[in-house]
């Protein structure tokens, strides 16, 4: 067995030189990975007997798992950071070398690095890759930065326990999490983002704004409070106005069905674990279920009468409550719940109408998202390997989707082969101000369900034909969409959508009556106004209204009673001074009617931007 010193002598170290022109996300990945090595080096200075496991870059940061002689606490992190800063200040060169695997095993065995030995045992190659900076050497596939000096904008964030290889039969290791960025400004912005993320959590804001709440006995479903209902109702009004205009009709179907429905649709076979099943009295096993989606029962509705080609496209919406038996651990407030509703619609059409109808749906989507100022990206998913239906129909459908997107000047990515077996689809990802993407809208063609349910229409030539179905939702789950909006706007919803648009605040008890009269004027104008009666100090009540992020606060005192004016404070602009009551009513009514986007949100998305990979550098 060769001694460690001899092995080290035999190595040929190459200075690490990343290729030029790397996109930002790749530069960040290297900085974070290198920072994890620097952190391990700093920890080893403090604890020479540390046994290192793995230290990869992750989204927005890095970690390293290690076995230490004692348990670290949050108080240890500044000392580790201090040592990291010293290392980074020396701007150490990162080097790379290859080493025969048996010799690498000798090396790490002599150092007592048992986790590295286990990792080595799992590498099939004859040679393994090593990186080092200063005298810190690690078994590592890279990639890394050239000089450690670029890793200076970091912060250690937290500690956690982590089982070796994620297996709880293995020893529990200590994990240190950190973040690293290219500039001090980005690091600052990210730390601010972390704080803000907590404050913007829709579950926290749901309580703070009195919109909804959760109780452990409800097993992951929300209680909707009156103010939450007001917001839902406003979304619903937007939905109703735009969809009526676009030629949709609405129906209401049952929520419970016999299993025959789901056997016909195929859900009984494929989706039963996610459904709430119901056992009828006297039956040995469940024969009914709560519906998890609106598709199968809308097919039944279609069959309630005969259809002619003249009625197509037939746009039918159904927004009943849906129930899915999601695992308890996967539930997350409104974002993932066991009860939700969709702004769902099914469109039945002739295959020649696909392009026109898809264009109409996308037009509607564009209009609706514009009221929230949401940016979005579109993906077209095409024919997969296991596709059903005639190739000509697929071609017609895919061309229709493509031309519809092009005719509206919408940019889109193509996910070749990513469609469902029963039809191609368009997915819409909403980008929020926290730099996240959410799949909300979906437009999906379906050649399958209409056949399974034997749907027909009488065509121009008097022949019975099967219609194509489109499943489409724009918000997706209405509850989840609201959760996204709340976090996107940090709870400060635009005036048109705010649960309480106006809070009237009398300074003293003598003005309570006038305040009520003022509020009534707004209510009469179809707006949402309340009075915070003078039972506590005015400054306290203003703070409370601000905590509830109410867009307009109207303060009325003696002078206002005499002049018939109101003193206006807004959540966004603070003090606007005295205004005639009439002018304020007009302003808010106009915003309400036009659905004006009158809020500015702190937007973190630039922090998480990615850059296209330059063509010349795709292979490194
Ligand atoms: Zn590494
Ligand atoms: Zn559907």
Q: What is the DSSP string of 527-586?
A: --EEE--SSS-HHHHHHHHHHTT-SEEEEE-HHHHHHTEEEEEETTTEEEEEEEHHHHHH
Rounded average pLDDT over 320-327: 93
- Report pLDDT for 612: 67
Q: Which ligand is nearest to the CA of 322?
A: 2
The model's pTM? 0.88
Question: Within its chain, how far is the Cα of 243 from the centroid?
Answer: 26
Question: pLDDT, tens digit, for every residue of 557-576?
Answer: 999 999 989 999 999 888 99
Question: pLDDT, tens digit, for every residue of 138-180?
Answer: 999 999 999 999 999 999 999 999 999 999 999 999 999 999 9
- Report pLDDT for 48: 96
Let me know: does 132 contact 144? Beta carbons within 8 Å.
no
β-partners of residue 64 are 176
Residue ranges near ligand 1 (ion) with Cβ within 5 Å:
140
Kindly state the DSSP code that residue 336 receives in the 8-state scheme.
B
Give the whole-angstrom CA distance, residue 71 versus residue 79: 15
Among 539, 540, 538, 520, residue whose Cα is nearest residue 530: 520
Rounded average pLDDT over 309-323: 95
pLDDT band at 618 (very low <50, low <70, confident <90, very high): very low
Let me know: does 291 contact 322? Beta carbons within 8 Å.
yes
Q: Is 133 exposed, middle or buried (0-12, 13-18, 19+ CB in 10 A)?
A: buried
- Record the tokens describing residue 91, joined without a space: 């701007």
- Report pLDDT for 421: 86
- Report pLDDT for 388: 82
347 CB-near residues (< 8 Å, 6+ apart): 313, 314, 315, 316, 357, 361, 469, 470, 472
Question: Within its chain, how far is the Cα of 620 from the centroid?
Answer: 31
Question: pLDDT, tens digit, for every residue of 398-447?
Answer: 998 999 999 989 899 999 999 988 899 999 999 999 999 999 999 999 98
Give the whole-angstrom CA distance, residue 445 versus residue 76: 56
pLDDT of residue 307 exceeding 80, the answer is yes
Among 351, 349, 378, residue whose Cα is nearest residue 471: 349
Question: pLDDT, tens digit, for every residue of 479-493?
Answer: 999 999 999 999 999
Average pLDDT over all residues of the chain: 94
Kindly state the DSSP code that residue 83 receives in the 8-state scheme.
H
Residue ranges near ligand 2 (ion) with Cβ within 5 Å:
295, 471
Weakest-pLDDT range from 2-6, 364-368, 542-546: 2-6
Q: Which ligand is nearest to the CA of 295?
A: 2
3 CA distance to ligand 1 centroid (A)?
24
Rounded average pLDDT over 518-529: 98
14 CA distance to ligand 1 centroid (A)?
16
139 CA distance to ligand 1 centroid (A)?
7
Kindly state the DSSP code that residue 460 receives in the 8-state scheme.
T
Q: Which ligand is nearest to the CA of 297?
A: 2
472 CA distance to ligand 2 centroid (A)?
7
Rounded average pLDDT over 53-58: 96
pLDDT of residue 89 exceeding 60, the answer is yes
Q: Which ligand is nearest to the CA of 450?
A: 2
pLDDT of residue 615 exceeding 70, the answer is no
Rounded average pLDDT over 447-455: 94
Encode 434-445: b = buried (16+ Cβ within 10 Å), e = exposed.
bebebebbbbbb
- Report pLDDT for 616: 46
For 132, the 3-state DSSP assignment is strand
CA 491, 492, 496, 499 torsion-angle sign: positive
134 CB-near residues (< 8 Å, 6+ apart): 41, 87, 90, 92
Weakest-pLDDT range from 59-63, 400-404, 571-575, 592-596: 571-575
Catalytic residues: 295, 324, 342, 344, 346, 425, 471
Residue whose entry in the numeric block shows the structure tokens 């005499």: 562
299 CA distance to ligand 2 centroid (A)?
9
- Report pLDDT for 2: 62
Question: pLDDT, tens digit, for every residue of 227-258?
Answer: 999 999 999 999 999 999 999 999 999 999 99
Kindly state the DSSP code that residue 123 receives in the 8-state scheme.
-
Encode 570-585: b = buried (16+ Cβ within 10 Å), e = exposed.
bbeeeeeeeeebeebb
- Report pLDDT for 610: 84
pLDDT of residue 212 exceeding 80, the answer is yes
Let me know: does 157 contact 177? Beta carbons within 8 Å.
yes
270 CA distance to ligand 2 centroid (A)?
15
pLDDT of residue 613 exceeding 70, the answer is no
76 CA distance to ligand 1 centroid (A)?
23
Q: Which ligand is nearest to the CA of 265?
A: 2
184 CA distance to ligand 1 centroid (A)?
24
For 491, the 3-state DSSP assignment is coil
β-partners of residue 316 are 249, 346
Half-sphere CA count of 519, side-chain side, radius 13 A: 21
DSSP per residue over 246-305, as a string? TT-EEE---SEEEHHHHHHHTHHHHSGGGS-EEPPTT-SS--EEE-S-SHHHHHHHHTTS
């Amino acid at each position: 067995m060769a001694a460690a010193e001899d092995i080290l002598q035999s190595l040929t170290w190459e200075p690490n030189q990343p290729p030029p022109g790397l996109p930002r996300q790749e530069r960040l990945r290297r900085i974070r990975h290198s920072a994890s090595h620097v952190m391990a080096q700093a920890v080893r200075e403090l604890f020479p007997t540390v046994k290192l496991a793995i230290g990869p870059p992750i989204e927005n940061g890095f970690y390293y798992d290690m076995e230490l002689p004692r348990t670290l606490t949050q108080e240890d992190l500044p000392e580790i950071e201090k040592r990291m800063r010293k290392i980074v200040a020396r701007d150490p060169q990162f080097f790379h070398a290859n080493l025969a695997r048996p010799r690498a095993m000798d090396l790490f065995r002599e150092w007592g690095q048992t986790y590295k030995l286990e990792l080595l045992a799992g590498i099939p190659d004859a040679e393994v890759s090593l990186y080092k900076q200063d005298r810190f050497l690690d078994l590592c596939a890279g990639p890394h930065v050239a000089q450690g000096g670029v890793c200076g904008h970091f912060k250690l964030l937290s500690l956690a326990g982590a089982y070796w290889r994620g297996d709880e039969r293995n020893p529990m290791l200590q994990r240190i999490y950190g973040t690293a960025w290219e500039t001090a400004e980005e690091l600052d912005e990210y730390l601010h983002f972390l704080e803000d993320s907590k404050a913007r959590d829709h579950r926290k804001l749901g309580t703070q704004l009195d919109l909804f709440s959760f109780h452990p006995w409800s097993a992951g479903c929300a209680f909707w409070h009156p103010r939450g209902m007001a917001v839902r109702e406003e979304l619903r009004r937007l939905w109703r106005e735009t969809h009526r205009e676009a030629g949709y009709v609405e129906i209401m179907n049952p929520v419970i069905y016999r299993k025959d429905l789901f056997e016909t649709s195929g859900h009984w076979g494929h989706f039963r674990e996610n459904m709430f099943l119901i056992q009828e009295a006297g039956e040995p096993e469940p024969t009914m279920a709560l519906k998890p989606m609106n598709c199968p029962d809308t097919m039944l509705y279609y069959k309630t009468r005969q259809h002619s080609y003249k009625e197509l496209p037939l746009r039918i919406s159904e927004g009943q409550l849906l129930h899915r038996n999601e695992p308890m651990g996967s539930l997350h407030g409104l974002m993932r719940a066991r009860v939700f509703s969709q702004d769902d619609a099914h469109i039945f059409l002739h295959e020649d109408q696909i392009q026109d109808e898809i264009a109409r749906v996308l037009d509607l989507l564009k209009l609706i998202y514009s009221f929230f100022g949401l940016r979005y990206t579109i993906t077209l998913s095409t024919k997969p390997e296991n596709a059903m239906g005639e190739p000509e129909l697929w071609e017609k459908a895919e061309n229709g989707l493509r031309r519809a997107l092009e005719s509206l000047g919408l940019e889109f990515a193509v996910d070749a082969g990513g469609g469902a077996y029963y039809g191609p689809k368009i997915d819409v990802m909403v980008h929020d101000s926290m730099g996240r993407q959410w799949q909300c809208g979906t437009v999906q063609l379906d050649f399958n369900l209409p056949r399974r349910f034997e749907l027909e229409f009488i065509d121009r030539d008097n022949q019975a034909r099967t219609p194509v179905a489109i499943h489409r939702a724009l918000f997706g789950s209405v509850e989840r969409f609201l959760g996204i909006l709340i976090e996107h706007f940090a709870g400060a919803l635009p005036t048109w959508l705010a649960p309480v648009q106006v809070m009237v605040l009398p300074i003293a008890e003598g003005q309570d009556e006038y305040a009520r009269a003022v509020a009534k004027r707004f209510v009469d104008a179809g707006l949402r106004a309340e009075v915070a009666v003078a039972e506590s100090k005015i400054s306290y009540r203003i703070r409370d209204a601000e905590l509830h992020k109410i867009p307009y606060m109207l303060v009325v005192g003696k002078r206002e009673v005499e002049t018939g004016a109101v003193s206006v404070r807004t959540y966004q602009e603070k003090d606007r001074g005295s205004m005639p009551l009439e002018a304020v009513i007009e302003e808010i009514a106009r915003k309400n009617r036009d659905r004006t986007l009158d809020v500015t949100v702190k937007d973190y998305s630039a922090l998480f931007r990615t850059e296209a990979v330059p063509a010349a550098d795709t292979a490194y």
